């Protein structure tokens, strides 16, 4: 069998590329070994927060201490890393991040060997509110309903009552 110079050149280049890729790839992105399950990851956090307040993300990774975990939030069509942590004894970790936009967003935590857990949070802004008591019960509302002791909602002509 005759080898061409291209085959001799490609094999060392491919081997060098594979080695460089495996050295440059962080442990978080590597897939688990075939047949080996990813370590379980459980997280907890508040599901509602004010804009500018820190969100505490804590959890447990079923792996030895010293493992890196990354907290990411949804960003359009991708994910953005917002915090990092290292596990302690028992696989516990705690980290915080500050949401920078209003609304609902997905938050996920990535651990080693493809382990991940996901949750959703809603970020609100602070606003003033008024309370109307018994003197207004039975009177008409801007939304078209009638004021009662159990009525909760916003005063708006376009939003339905109870919003």
Q: What span, in angstroms and rounded, lies between the C-alpha atoms of 48 and 163?
A: 18
- Domain membership flag for residue 1: no
- Domain membership flag for residue 143: yes
Q: What span, in angstroms and rounded, lies between the C-alpha atoms of 154 and 5?
A: 77
Mean pLDDT of 92-115: 90
Mean pLDDT of 67-79: 90
Same domain? For 87 and 119 the reply is yes
* Residue 142 structural domain: 128-163
Q: What span, in angstroms and rounded, lies between the C-alpha atoms of 29 and 23?
A: 12
Same domain? For 113 and 140 the reply is no
Mean pLDDT of 104-118: 88
Same domain? For 48 and 76 the reply is yes
Q: Point out which residues pair with 44 in neighbouring strands.
A: 58
Same domain? For 106 and 45 the reply is yes
Same domain? For 85 and 115 the reply is yes
Question: In this structure, what are the phi and psi dihedrals at residue 13, rounded to the nearest 5 degrees?
Answer: -65, -40
Q: How many domains does the chain have?
A: 2
pLDDT digits (tens, 9 = 90+) for 27-49: 444 444 555 667 787 788 888 99
- Domain membership flag for residue 31: no
Same domain? For 158 and 139 the reply is yes
Band of residue 160 on the pLDDT scale cut at 50, 70, 90: confident
Q: Tell me the CATH number at 56.
A: 2.60.40.10
- Residue 46: per-residue pLDDT: 84
Contact of 81 with 71, CB cutoff 8 Å: yes
- Rg of the Cα atoms in the chain: 26
- Domain membership flag for residue 30: no
Mean pLDDT of 19-30: 39
């Amino acid at each position: 069998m005759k080898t061409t110079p291209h085959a001799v050149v490609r094999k060392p280049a491919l081997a060098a590329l594979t080695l460089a890729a495996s050295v440059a790839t962080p442990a978080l992105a590597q897939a688990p070994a075939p047949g080996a399950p990813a370590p379980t990851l459980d997280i907890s956090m508040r599901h509602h927060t004010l804009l500018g307040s820190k969100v505490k993300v804590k959890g447990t990774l079923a792996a030895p201490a010293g493992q890196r975990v990354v907290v990411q939030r949804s960003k359009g069509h991708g994910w953005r890393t917002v915090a990092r942590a290292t596990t302690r004894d028992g696989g516990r970790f705690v980290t915080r991040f500050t949401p920078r936009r209003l609304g609902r967003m997905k938050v996920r935590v990535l651990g080693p060997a493809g382990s991940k857990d996901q949750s959703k949070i809603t970020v609100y802004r602070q606003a003033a509110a008024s309370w109307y008591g018994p003197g207004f019960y039975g009177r008409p509302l801007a939304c078209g309903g009638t004021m009662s002791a159990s009525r909760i909602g916003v005063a708006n002509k376009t939003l339905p009552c109870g919003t």
